[in-house]
Structure 1
Amino acid sequence: MLTNENYIGNSVWNKHSARLRSHQVRNPPEQWVRVENVLEPIVDRKLFDRAQIVLKTIYRHMTNDEMLAALRALLARRGALSLAMIDADPGCPPAQRYQWRFGTIVKAYELIGYEPSKNYRFIGVNRHLESMRLQIIRDLVGAIDKQGGVAAHDMAMDLLRINEEITVAITMGRCRVSGFGYPRWFSKADKRPLPDIFVLIRMNPGDLTVRDYLIAPAHEIAGKSELHAINGIPLDSYIFPTLNPILRLAEREPVGGVAW
């Protein structure tokens, strides 16, 4: 929240990118696309700017090794770790900073040799995926707005509404690898009410980076609960490396000087 510009009315996208069959990478700030004043701000801009200054001064000199050493020392003192313990300890950076630096808090735990419970790991991955999904939706809304379309995330129905014409359901597909090494993804394409377009964000093994996107008319894949790396031409024709097909759907064609 402390660095999310959505709270001051801005939409920022292109923070990350991924080419076909490659890992997602974080783009440098100069490549980010920022659209200002497109959302209803809920945090005062001056307060937000002051928070950025504070964040840049707190723990700014801590390297990865120093952050992990602080976490290791806390583990030695307490015998276990949790987000609440980390946030309450004056010798540790906030738990969210570990998530920013290492991708997930579970990854930071692994680097110091701490094994959280399987249930905690499952919850941590789910939180990471939901956070990623919501950020992807926000980025998509900003991109559609930038090209002249209108998009909004209907939180009640959990649907993206584009130009008041198209509804899109966007879900995450955790990667499951079989005993023979073959990846599988499970979808919820039977979501009700059925949207116009169904998007499944297929993750790479480990569920940290995006592999690709299944973007298909919802009625054509309803009932298909499991996907493989190769599914046959009809289904694989809906696999894309980016969400650009959604942007093309949202484009307005100018007619007589007016976009429709």
Structure 2
Amino acid sequence: MSGNTVQSEASGPVRAAQYVRMSTDHQRYSTENQAEIIAAYAARRNFEIVRTYADEGRSGLNIAGRDSLRRLIADVQAGSADYEAVLVYDISRWGRFQDADESAYYEFICRDRGINVHYCAEQFDNDGSLPSSVMKSIKRVMAGEYSRELSSKVFTGQCRLITLGYRQGGPAGYGLRRFLVNEANEPKAPLARGEHKSLQTDRVILVPGPDEEIEAVRRIYRLFVVERRSEREIATLFNSEGKVTDIGKPWSRAVIRQILCNEKYVGNNVYNRVSFKLKKKRVVNTPDMWVRSDGAFEAIVDPALFDAAQVILTERARRLSDDDLLRMLTNLLGSHGTLSGMIIDEVEDMPSSAAYRSRFGSLLRAYQLIGYEPARDYRYVETNRQLRLIHPNVVARTIAGIEAIGGEVVVDETTDLLIVNREVTLAVVIARCQATPVGTLRWRVRLDAGLCPDITVVVRLDPDNITVRDYYLLPWIDVGARGRLGMGEDNGLDLDAYRTDGLDPLYHLLRRHSLEHAQ
């Protein structure tokens, strides 16, 4: 044992923090079991555990989502760590990073600030010696390889279940519902949104949903194929009739398009259209890589009508040559000054961004062919598409809340500003969450200097960029001059004073109050 590991009783115990993590790979790695082994190690080595960082139910593939490990690293970097060592069960609990250097990097951050990391269940001391360094490197690679092998086995099993006609994850979608069956394929019970099976031998299939949803799906196909209505026209029609999607959101061109091109509506079970293995880059796979089982579920759309819709969608893009597509993209760039998947999808007479990805391999490749170099990171194109779907729902809920307190709201169709009681203007901004390389979270907010709304409602999203994290009610008179805001998890009183978990403070601010006349 090294001299800096064993502490003499005279010097007193060394203050230490413990880090525990539990995924779902094995029960023996429960945080309680880890803490027991760590406690025994601390007693032998004269450590006093003064702080615990615990990530429960978190994957070790990367640091994203592991709030406790990110907090540990942040405390160490900020110099606020009140301990001299970090105790971890073993190297795999520190992380199954796919790049072993990432695991070493986080350990180096601690060691560089005088805080040693101890792996309590490993058969070597992490003392910097050649044998321990070699063993540690091997263990790091083995931890990452375990996840790679497990991912391959899980994927093979999922593919087999797909060919047998079982659903593998994800919501059912409008017009369909998930249903639980046992290993003998006998029906058990419907699964509501957010519910999951509890027995490993149970399986999930898709079944027709409510009659009104089924009829709406069939109507979408008739409007598109027979009446030749566009996706946007259908969405506008449904919204004007007060219809909402299965998750209570307004209809959009993208939602209609998804219904028109998804084979599940004719009963086909298709998997592996998109890959996101080991939480790496999202990849859109070619059709030859798809795994499918035709006729796995009960169809709710006539196959002939579905095929006719696919012909229209295909011909819409096929009748344009590559030069035609690039010329349209060039013209769009000239009129907007910038390009994005969101901008492309909002132009009615323009092929969708999916058509450009299909024809040229990616949006970025299409941009390069017209000489456009985007200044933004296009890993977030899919996130922006999701933001476009979230924004109308956020605005609708904000308007409903204001009207519930007796307020009058008018939406300026040109600027999208909300004009409340003909006096106060509101702008609603969705702020996407981005994780830095060390795992801290950041949000970027642009305040529109051309509109100068009285209050900008910033809706910050969680790392999944779907769930709302919190709100900031920013008065223009105080923060408008900044133009752009870079926000973190903690922003100081000058910004966090405007933070709120909900919109009740906004409604209170906008509520009309009667004034009593002085006698």
Q: What TM bracket, shorter-length normalisation?
A: 0.5 to 0.7
Q: Which has the larger radius of gyration?
A: 2
1:128 aligns with 2:361: no
Q: What amino acid is the match of 1:147?
A: I
Cα distance between partner residues in 2 of 1:11 and 1:161: 25
How far the C-alpha of 1:197 sits from its partner, in A, is: 0.5
Q: Give the alignment partner of residue 231 of structure 1, picking from 488, 491, 513.
A: 491
Give the match's secondary structure for 1:242: coil
Say if 1:174 and 1:207, in contact at 8 Å, map to a contact too.
yes
Say if 1:174 and 1:185, in contact at 8 Å, map to a contact too.
yes
Q: What amino acid is the match of 1:205?
A: P
Change (3 A) 1:236 1:202: same
Q: Give the alignment partner of residue 242 of structure 1, picking from 483, 495, 502.
A: 502
Give the match's secondary structure for 1:143: helix
Say if 1:11 and 1:138, in contact at 8 Å, map to a contact too.
no
How far the C-alpha of 1:143 sits from its partner, in A, is: 2.4
CA-to-aligned-CA distance 1:64-96 (integer Å, 9 cap, x gap)? xx6543958x9664679xxxxx99559xxxxxx
Say if 2:390 and 2:466, in contact at 8 Å, map to a contact too.
no
Cα distance between partner residues in 2 of 1:127 and 1:198: 22
Residue pairs, 1:28-43, within 5 angstroms: none
Q: Which residue of 1 aligns with 2:423?
A: 165
Q: Which residue of 1 aligns with 2:512?
A: 252
Residue pairs, 1:53-202, within 5 angstroms: 67-69=269-271, 71=273, 77=287, 88-89=309-310, 122-180=380-438, 181-188=440-447, 190-192=449-451, 194-202=452-460
Give the match's secondary structure for 2:419: strand
Cα distance between partner residues in 2 of 1:161 and 1:2: 25
How far the C-alpha of 1:150 sits from its partner, in A, is: 0.5
Cα distance between partner residues in 2 of 1:142 and 1:191: 27
Superposition RMSD in Å? 4.4
Change (3 A) 1:179 1:76: closer
Change (3 A) 1:127 1:182: closer
Say if 1:189 and 1:198, in contact at 8 Å, map to a contact too.
no
How far the C-alpha of 1:165 sits from its partner, in A, is: 0.9
Q: Which residue of 2 aligns with 1:7?
A: 240
Change (3 A) 1:70 1:182: closer
Change (3 A) 1:147 1:11: farther
Give the match's secondary structure for 2:474: strand
Cα distance between partner residues in 1 of 2:310 and 2:288: 11
Change (3 A) 1:150 1:251: same
Say if 2:444 and 2:486, in contact at 8 Å, map to a contact too.
yes
Q: What amino acid is the match of 1:199?
A: V
CA-to-aligned-CA distance 1:189-212 (integer Å, 9 cap, x gap)? 5343x1111111112224222211
Say if 1:173 and 1:185, in contact at 8 Å, map to a contact too.
yes
Say if 2:445 and 2:485, in contact at 8 Å, map to a contact too.
yes
Q: What amino acid is the match of 2:475?
A: P
Higher RCO (CA < 8 A, seq sep 6+)? 1
Cα distance between partner residues in 1 of 2:453 and 2:286: 51
Cα distance between partner residues in 1 of 2:419 and 2:243: 17
Q: What amino acid is the match of 1:185?
A: R
TM-score norm. by structure 2 comes to 0.30
Say if 1:189 and 1:223, in contact at 8 Å, map to a contact too.
no
Say if 2:461 and 2:470, in contact at 8 Å, map to a contact too.
yes
CA-to-aligned-CA distance 1:167-196 (integer Å, 9 cap, x gap)? 01111112222222343333325343x111
Q: What amino acid is the match of 2:420?
A: I
Q: Which residue of 2 aligns with 1:221?
A: 479
Cα distance between partner residues in 1 of 2:308 and 2:362: 17
Change (3 A) 1:4 1:226: farther
Report the more deviating stretch, 146-155 or 247-256.
247-256
Say if 2:273 and 2:287, in contact at 8 Å, map to a contact too.
no
How far the C-alpha of 1:238 sits from its partner, in A, is: 0.3
Cα distance between partner residues in 2 of 1:117 and 1:67: 28
Change (3 A) 1:238 1:188: same
Cα distance between partner residues in 1 of 2:436 and 2:386: 23
How far the C-alpha of 1:129 sits from its partner, in A, is: 0.7
Change (3 A) 1:3 1:241: farther
1:204 aligns with 2:462: yes
Q: Which residue of 1 aligns with 2:157?
A: none
Cα distance between partner residues in 2 of 1:7 and 1:166: 27
Q: What amino acid is the match of 2:511?
A: E
Cα distance between partner residues in 2 of 1:184 and 1:162: 27
Q: What is the total number of aligned residue pairs between the two structures?
A: 185
Q: What amino acid is the match of 1:190?
A: A
Give the match's secondary structure for 1:222: helix
Q: What amino acid is the match of 1:202?
A: R
Q: What amino acid is the match of 1:250?
A: L
Cα distance between partner residues in 2 of 1:186 and 1:173: 6
Cα distance between partner residues in 2 of 1:255 and 1:87: 64
Change (3 A) 1:67 1:144: farther
